[in-house]
Amino acid sequence: MYSCILWDVDGTIADASAGILPRLIEVFGSYGMTPPPAEELSHWIGPPMYESFQRYGMDADRAADAVERYRRLAARDGYAASVRIYPGVTEVLRAVAAAGIPQATASSKPENQVVAILDHYGLSGLFTAIVGAQPGAEDKASAIGRALEELAARGADVTRPVLIGDRVHDIEGAAEYGIPVIFAEWGFGEPAEGAPAEYRAGSAEALLPLLVTDRASDPVS
């Protein structure tokens, strides 16, 4: 059905919230700021943090500094610390690779962190390309564009890509390239965020038939 598959990471492949949320609270505390409630902080997982800090009221310079503070904390803790892979996702990644369909990450998470997580769980070899955010280009569309470029450079067919993600910014980034999205309902996005997606998957088990068979389940209405 698809010639290649692009994966979001936070909220789709991996749940890093156990480490992300305490670090965000520590960053806000370093400025003497009260962090948003925990239930709101969870919605920061996935979108570029630089944008999220600005939405919370920081100017561009302070937001950039806050991102750097956060990254220093992540490096201190270890990029794969407190990260878990969502149930069933490893099996989907392996099944897709076994079917010969090229896969790439297209994450707003810094690329070195994506590599560290996939290496830690022995998943890196299942991907044709591993792409994350680069300094100065942290938006989802930039990551998607680079993922397509790297897949094509490695001989992958990129004529029929699909993105799997859990947030509206995944859908918006994919739309810039006309790429359909499968909305991962197990992630951090609100159900309404997935409304523009072509399909929804409530679990990794439900996702697999959308990727490796000729017949997918019902489209999103």
pLDDT in tens, 115-146: 999 999 999 999 999 999 887 666 899 999 99
- Helix, strand, coil in percent for the chain, rounding step 5: 45, 15, 40
Residues 23 and 10 in one domain: no
Single residue among 77, 98, 127 that ends a domain in this structure = 77
Q: Domain of residue 72: give its range.
A: 17-77
Asked which of 33-47, 158-172, 195-209 is least confident by mean pLDDT, the reply is: 33-47
Q: Which helix (H) or strand (E) holds 210?
A: helix 204-212
Q: What is the mean pLDDT of residues 90-113?
A: 96
pTM of the model: 0.83
Residues 169 and 105 in one domain: yes
Residue 153 lies in a domain: yes
Say what the pLDDT of residue 137 is.
61
Q: What is the rounded distance in angstroms from the CA atom of residue 175 to the CA atom of residue 14?
A: 23
Residues 25 and 48 in one domain: yes
Q: Which helix (H) or strand (E) holds 6?
A: strand 4-7
How many distinct structural domains can be found in the chain?
2
Residue 21 lies in a domain: yes
Say what the pLDDT of residue 136 is.
67
Question: Are 185 and 200 in contact, with CB atoms under 8 Å apart?
Answer: yes
At how many degrees (to 10) do helices 17-30 and 60-77 cross? 130
Residues 204 and 108 in one domain: yes
- Domain containing residue 37: CATH number: 1.10.150.240
Residues 130 and 166 in one domain: yes
Is the pLDDT at 150 greater than 50? The verdict is yes
- Do strands 84-85 and 103-105 pair parallel, antiparallel, or not at all (unpaired)? unpaired
pLDDT band at 198 (very low <50, low <70, confident <90, very high): very high
